[in-house]
Amino acid sequence: MKKICIFIGSRANYSSIKAVMRAIQKHPELELQVVAGASAVLDRYGSVINLIEQDGFSVVARVHMLIEGETPTTMAKSTGLGLIELPTIFESIKPDIVLTVGDRFETMATTLAAAYMNIPIAHTMGGEVSGTIDESIRHAITKFAHIHFPASRDAYERIVKLGEPEPSVHLVGCPRMDLVAEMLSVSRSEVDESIFRLGVGDRVDIDKPFVLVSQHPVTTEYGTGREQITATLQAVKNIGLPAIVLWPNADAGSDDIAKGIRIWREKGLDTDMHFFKNLPISTYVQLMKRTKCLVGNSSSGIREGAFIGTPVVNIGTRQAGRERGSNVIDTGNDADEIASAIQKQLSHGPYGFEPIYGDGTAGEKIADILSRTVVQLQKRITY
Amino acid sequence: MKKICIFIGSRANYSSIKAVMRAIQKHPELELQVVAGASAVLDRYGSVINLIEQDGFSVVARVHMLIEGETPTTMAKSTGLGLIELPTIFESIKPDIVLTVGDRFETMATTLAAAYMNIPIAHTMGGEVSGTIDESIRHAITKFAHIHFPASRDAYERIVKLGEPEPSVHLVGCPRMDLVAEMLSVSRSEVDESIFRLGVGDRVDIDKPFVLVSQHPVTTEYGTGREQITATLQAVKNIGLPAIVLWPNADAGSDDIAKGIRIWREKGLDTDMHFFKNLPISTYVQLMKRTKCLVGNSSSGIREGAFIGTPVVNIGTRQAGRERGSNVIDTGNDADEIASAIQKQLSHGPYGFEPIYGDGTAGEKIADILSRTVVQLQKRITY
Amino acid sequence: MKKICIFIGSRANYSSIKAVMRAIQKHPELELQVVAGASAVLDRYGSVINLIEQDGFSVVARVHMLIEGETPTTMAKSTGLGLIELPTIFESIKPDIVLTVGDRFETMATTLAAAYMNIPIAHTMGGEVSGTIDESIRHAITKFAHIHFPASRDAYERIVKLGEPEPSVHLVGCPRMDLVAEMLSVSRSEVDESIFRLGVGDRVDIDKPFVLVSQHPVTTEYGTGREQITATLQAVKNIGLPAIVLWPNADAGSDDIAKGIRIWREKGLDTDMHFFKNLPISTYVQLMKRTKCLVGNSSSGIREGAFIGTPVVNIGTRQAGRERGSNVIDTGNDADEIASAIQKQLSHGPYGFEPIYGDGTAGEKIADILSRTVVQLQKRITY
Amino acid sequence: MKKICIFIGSRANYSSIKAVMRAIQKHPELELQVVAGASAVLDRYGSVINLIEQDGFSVVARVHMLIEGETPTTMAKSTGLGLIELPTIFESIKPDIVLTVGDRFETMATTLAAAYMNIPIAHTMGGEVSGTIDESIRHAITKFAHIHFPASRDAYERIVKLGEPEPSVHLVGCPRMDLVAEMLSVSRSEVDESIFRLGVGDRVDIDKPFVLVSQHPVTTEYGTGREQITATLQAVKNIGLPAIVLWPNADAGSDDIAKGIRIWREKGLDTDMHFFKNLPISTYVQLMKRTKCLVGNSSSGIREGAFIGTPVVNIGTRQAGRERGSNVIDTGNDADEIASAIQKQLSHGPYGFEPIYGDGTAGEKIADILSRTVVQLQKRITY
């Protein structure tokens, strides 16, 4: 049995890799080792670890590695703490391959720990282009990884250009689409008013037109988050539709955005708005299907958006360079500009399906390749 | 004044960047901030920090970050510890640019700390190709760096292919050559018998033919170091010339090589051999000039070797892919093969100068570029 | 100038030492060095660091040392992280004396760092007796400290019995009482309805009878916090008076209590109750003056309570062994028992002043002693 | 089965507890969990971990926690690193009791980790008095420990005075004496010239009179170690007997003493002297039996010395206050004073047996008590 270790560091991580975890667990020649850490083990981010266990996966180790503060400094230090903790775990569970997801700072810690310890590394979601420090982390991880699972054609080509040997790069699509496909197949009636028992603020009638807001900090623009979220909320307010607003990710600068939201509420500007810290991903996908427009800088607008056909207004630099479908309108961080883009999307209505980030079968493809691949530990750039 | 912070983590680091430090210190628009850490602050690696201060540089902070053990696990953890310590220092000295050197694990910690903290990163010695995990670290650092100072044409082209914008890549040569040029200009008589007051073993007559041995662990071949050094020492023994042998670097696996040397000595096989833990770089350069053959896997054979014209037998995978001159013969880790390559070099004698790794003016070029460059913090791959 | 370094790790820490900080700052021969860390630097605990700066103190360094999770494991690890960070700071600011406060885990880190680095240690609030792990930490710190500032006669005697030389033990009273005296001297009208702009829940008329609840986790009874707070809330409910409820401290087990409160609210049992995460200490003191009864396990009931004369129902083991006045009735963690004790206090009404924990002049006494004391670094038990 | 976890952090630790480990392993109701860390896992301190395994114990986890440098700062940081690592291990092996040994900094980390995690703590060698920071650490650990195993009557009484409940204090003697008794029972001929295959310097004829030197740094006198060892070596030189000299422990200041020894040797003053980094404890005991005089500040002179009857010259403050037999003469750090004390011991010759530190049966007593004791987790001072 080949032991595949997956580190889950956040709710987003988990939904990006859950389809792969399932496929590994089913595969006769693979053994799954789940390590949970960072925000995934914390109550205040919704205890993703419980979710993981409820879904039938067993967690072999948990790593408390987040140093409180959510500043650039604590982000660096948290990575450091992860690098101190993870080798102890890898020494004890001895994985054959470590599979890392995406481009967050905990991914960097996982990757470095495995690299120093001569454990082969597989990587999903490499080769994409975006803003923030994730851009550097993602390509750096590619330079450590031995097996690559890009989600789109564009990303595939970029990884090869980065000097990775073609046989090690596998275009499989994004495993999140496997889940999205599944979630869209359930009845529309599964999401109803009961979701508003959680969160705070006014209830929104989700059978009528509403806007969905999901905006995260841009780490290279640290200190501007409060202004940015305020512009977005102002734009939504001006449009006059009710809105469902999501809390930002744990990242350098999220306190800043959180403060922006809190001040907005304290000023009493939050009528017809409801705020969620965490939403089950299935609920979120249903909301993406129903909303008149998704506003913010979440990657979901571009990725799941293309699959679902959601009209999206994508703000600022955070998703710059990411391959996107016709469903996305890009704008700057200006309330008027944002409002006018939302207006355009309201006139257009829903878009058709575009399979840019996969067709919903990535999980099984990845498990299969992992079971077959023999890794050459010493990497060598191809040029 | 633009503040340029340089982290020195080892003796090798220091000689790779000393010429740049001097040029920065002289430059009217630059301020130098030296941080010393890792093995550079330790007595048992020869207290490089004292050397730095004797050379007229002041050290603004020191970082104890090496966790004892020198296994892959402690190497990862030491990087983690560096990542916990360095942000505190950067917060306090607020550099405008962090200049990182090469591809060691402490370089990775410096790079990540700066990257998370939104401090622009300059990098020397990027774009080269070699064996071991350094290969991955080096290219990963390139993906974080904003200004690149490759040492050779080959390296320059590789960095551009890695998707870095051409205007950010500057072919300046290796700053070590600045020092080598200077050291070779002093009289040959500066190195004499007195060097044997340090180290252990028999004295070697350096006015007669002798072999120089410098062999380091290959981290991806962890556990084989003892065999490898034994094969090399056996080959040298078979040739019959006296030998000067250098102790390995602090790295995963160096205990293994050290043990090989210790057992060799305990068996009494060390006649006509002298062993040094540390040599002043100027002495080493003089020995490279005089030796009949440099044997091992040190990068100096390939880099300084090309500049000096030293006959080199390069063993194993550690320097694989590095651009090299006609002075190098490559072999595997086999005593007979090594002995026969040494024999060939003895017949050939010294080689001519080849400026593959610079012409001795890198320091000033780098300082000048640092003073002029305006950095765009948000990186974006070029393709 | 003698440099006195004080580490502030929480809001409670700050109010325990603020009077001393003021006196040091005024003293002609002393220089104050404030280091802020642990929860004191975090937004979600009310950014005590801003308060410190608004009060006219400058903070020379900040330490992010809290690892998220608030379990026994992360508490240990956070202490470890503090021990990695603090020596760097002490090396840079070179204090002559480190003054540590009380018995929290960050206090242990401060103490150990200073002890290993041969920096003399002064300690306030030593020698007292209480439940939880604080009991061990407090006495252990006494064994490291060179100058002792107990708050009560009892505590003084206990420190001497612990083998500390009598000349090093100074009975000065608790510096918090300095602040309480000051706060009580301002007009009653300073606290009004406006405090309810913060927190959540129903408003309470503070001119009419109300109960004040402040209950923290008992670390040696980890896992029982939810039950305990529920019993307390039930007792208060049964009494029928409105209540002001404070959120627990950050400590192992506080999530548990927080969850108890959250479930209480979700069940809709929170009518006539208002919940605060943080209250300005001055507001809290005014509420202690006005409340019919303080219920819970906060040390304030026993300490400030004796000074103010507040009727207190003290629940469970957390304050066991602490010297107390006639204003306190002790009970177990049982709703009925608690309710009947509250009833007794309602019948009794306010108590008279008892100066068990000082007369409000501790700050100046401590500063004076610090300025005069010459410390013998090598400690030796007296028996 | 009650799981007893013992952390071994150094060679000295190991010989202090080995007899207990054996007795636990034999005990039908106890399960032994050995964790090795600090210098015990390092090659350069003689890989104590291999010794442990050769002795038939299995090591369940190893902790790399020593940060290189051996300064007060790194000692504090190493404790911090231990506090980050150990909770992960305790979480995984879930001991019922953690047994800590003595008073070194790694003991502090073990103790704090267990204390925060609500694991009962047993402690050997508490209650003694000595110099250096060990004095504070030892008594602080007593304040955390739930079961105490003092080695001498004096120590027993001191622990009770420190406020520990008498039923929790057990006078059992020092477990090292169990080993000493055993070692002395083997034939004198077991130690011969072959020991000089290790170490460096001249061979010493151990069948003729010789002096044994063992001197460690005094942490509260950091920076004076070089002078101190030089005075001692000078005194020995003046006496004119050959000497066997032991290298210092890893501790803040040991580099300083090591440097003193190195300079002594480089000056060529080391005739008739042999230097050992590590000696098997059995060899050391045999040398203590044979030497004319043990010189330095090692606790072995006082403890094993009383059992064996070795004439001892004890230098400086390191052992101040430790209960001692008639075999010890105390002196200051002055070469003449030391020499004259040695002279007195040469005239006196060997002393008789004094069972101050136990009669050689501590191991079994401790195991028995551990198996029977029910621990009350919440500690409370007795006065």
Does residue A353 lie in a domain region? no
Residues 6+ apart with CB under 8 A from B195: B206, B279, B283
Query: Which of A135-149, A229-243, A330-344, C131-145 is predicted with the least confidence, judged by mean pLDDT?
Result: C131-145
Residues 6+ apart with CB under 8 A from C356: C152, C303, C306, C323, C324, C325
How far is the C-alpha of C181 from the C-alpha of C179, rounded, in Å?
A: 5
Same domain, B128 and B223: no
pLDDT at B366 over 70: yes
pLDDT at C75 over 70: yes
Does residue C21 lie in a domain region? yes
E-assigned strands of chain B?
2-8, 30-37, 59-63, 97-101, 121-124, 147-149, 200-201, 211-214, 243-246, 273-276, 293-296, 312-315, 328-331
Number of residues written out for chain B:
383
- CA distance, residue B95 to nearest chain A CA (Å): 14
CB contact under 8 A, D85 and A88: yes
Same domain, A362 and A343: no
Q: Across residues C76-96, what is the average pLDDT?
A: 95
Query: pLDDT tier at D260 (50, 70, 90 boundaries)?
Result: very high
- CA distance, residue A225 to nearest chain B CA (Å): 15
Q: Quick one: DSSP state of residue A320?
A: T
pLDDT at A219 over 80: no
CB contact under 8 A, B83 and A88: no
Same domain, B164 and B286: no
Which of C76, C82, C140 lies nearest to residue D140, judging by beta carbons?
C140
Query: pLDDT tier at B305 (50, 70, 90 boundaries)?
Result: very high
Pick from B306, B264, B262: nearest CA to B288: B306
| Mutation site for A-interface testing, chosen from C43, C48, C50, C68 by largest number of A Cβ within 10 Å | C68
Which residues of A lie closer than 8 Å to C, measured between beta carbons?
A: 39, 41-44, 64-69, 71, 73-74, 77, 81, 255, 259
Q: Across residues D108-114, what is the average pLDDT?
A: 96
Pick from B280, B277, B275: nearest CA to B51: B280
Does residue D19 lie in a domain region? yes
| Mutation site for D-interface testing, chosen from A88, A91, A117 by largest number of D Cβ within 10 Å | A88
Helical ranges in chain A per DSSP H: 11-26, 48-54, 72-93, 105-116, 134-144, 153-161, 175-185, 225-239, 254-266, 281-290, 299-308, 335-348, 362-372
Query: pLDDT tier at D93 (50, 70, 90 boundaries)?
Result: very high
Same domain, C164 and C42: yes
pLDDT at D77 over 80: yes
ipTM reported for the complex, 2 dp: 0.82
For residues C313 and C329, is the Cβ–Cβ distance under 8 A?
yes
pLDDT value of position A130:
79
Cβ contacts below 8 Å, chain A against chain B, sum to 155
CB contact under 8 A, A68 and C73: no
Contacting chains of A (3 CB pairs or more, <8 Å) are: B, C, D
Which of C112, C129, C321 lies nearest to residue D79, judging by beta carbons?
C112
How far is the C-alpha of A337 from the C-alpha of D291, rounded, in Å?
A: 90
Same domain, A93 and A242: no
CB contact under 8 A, A140 and B144: yes
pLDDT value of position D188:
64
Which of C72, C82, C143 lies nearest to residue D116, judging by beta carbons?
C72
Q: In what order do the strands lie in the sheet with C2-8?
A: C59-63, C30-37, C2-8, C97-101, C121-124, C147-149
pLDDT value of position C11:
86
For residues D72 and D219, is the Cβ–Cβ distance under 8 A?
yes
Q: Across residues A159-164, what is the average pLDDT?
A: 97
Query: pLDDT tier at A79 (50, 70, 90 boundaries)?
Result: very high
Residues in chain A within 8 Å Cβ distance of B76: 83, 86-87, 112-113, 116-117
What are A111-124's pLDDT values in tens digits? 999 999 999 999 99
Q: How many domains does chain A have?
A: 2
CB contact under 8 A, A84 and D88: no
Structure tokens at A38: 């960072």
Does residue B378 lie in a domain region? no
How far is the C-alpha of B119 from the C-alpha of B97, rounded, in Å?
A: 6
Residue A124: its H or E element: strand A121-124
Residues in chain A within 8 Å Cβ distance of D84: 81, 84-85
Does residue C382 lie in a domain region? no
Does residue C378 lie in a domain region? no
Query: Which of B180-194, B353-367, C22-36, D259-273 is predicted with the least confidence, judged by mean pLDDT?
Result: B180-194
For residues D366 and D176, is the Cβ–Cβ distance under 8 A?
no
Same domain, B195 and B81: no
Residues in chain D within 8 Å Cβ distance of A92: 92
Residues in chain A within 8 Å Cβ distance of D81: 84
pLDDT value of position D187:
66
Does residue C377 lie in a domain region? no
For residues A280 and A194, is the Cβ–Cβ distance under 8 A?
no
Structure tokens at D260: 């003193």
Q: Across residues B139-161, what is the average pLDDT?
A: 97
pLDDT at B187 over 70: no
pLDDT at A132 over 80: no
pLDDT at A102 over 70: yes
pLDDT at A40 over 90: yes
pLDDT value of position A48:
93
Pick from B168, B127, B163: nearest CA to A162: B163
User: At C15, which CATH number?
Assistant: 3.40.50.2000
Residues 6+ apart with CB under 8 A from B243: B204, B210, B211, B212, B213, B233, B236, B272, B273, B274
Measured between alpha carbons, how far is residue D317 from residues B102, D321, D333 in Å?
Answer: 48, 9, 9
Same domain, C219 and C331: yes
Residues in chain D within 8 Å Cβ distance of B44: 68
Does residue D169 lie in a domain region? yes
How far is the C-alpha of D245 from the C-alpha of D229, rounded, in Å?
A: 10
Domain that holds residue A343: 187-348
What is the separation of C-alpha D304 from the centre of its chain, rounded to a whole number of angstroms?
Answer: 11
* Average pLDDT in chain A: 93
Pick from B273, B264, B216, B265: nearest CA to B239: B273
What is the largest distance, in Å, between two alpha-carbon atoms of chain B? 60
pLDDT at A187 over 70: no
- CA distance, residue A280 to nearest chain B CA (Å): 30
| Mutation site for A-interface testing, chosen from B221, B378, B382 by largest number of A Cβ within 10 Å | B378
Same domain, A129 and A259: no
- CA distance, residue B321 to nearest chain A CA (Å): 8
pLDDT value of position D189:
63
Query: pLDDT tier at C286 (50, 70, 90 boundaries)?
Result: very high
Query: pLDDT tier at C218 (50, 70, 90 boundaries)?
Result: confident
pLDDT value of position C188:
64
Same domain, D202 and D337: yes
CA angle B254, B256, B257 (to 5 degrees): 70
How far is the C-alpha of D337 from the C-alpha of D339, rounded, in Å?
A: 5
pLDDT value of position C101:
94
pLDDT at B31 over 90: yes
CB contact under 8 A, B88 and C85: yes
Residue C244: its H or E element: strand C243-246
Q: Across residues D366-371, what is the average pLDDT?
A: 98
Residue of D nearest to B255 (CA): D43
For residues C36 and C65, is the Cβ–Cβ distance under 8 A?
no
Residues in chain A within 8 Å Cβ distance of B116: 72-73, 75-76, 79, 105, 133, 219, 252
What are D155-211's pLDDT values in tens digits? 999 999 999 999 999 999 999 999 999 888 876 667 788 888 888 899 999 999 999
What are C178-194's pLDDT values in tens digits? 999 988 887 666 778 88
Pick from C54, C115, C53, C56: nearest CA to C86: C115
Same domain, B69 and B130: yes
Same domain, D156 and D301: no
Same domain, C203 and C136: no
Q: Quick one: DSSP state of residue C326?
A: T
Contacting chains of B (3 CB pairs or more, <8 Å) are: A, C, D
More confident residue, D52 or D106: D52
For residues D124 and D149, is the Cβ–Cβ distance under 8 A?
yes
Global confidence as pTM: 0.82
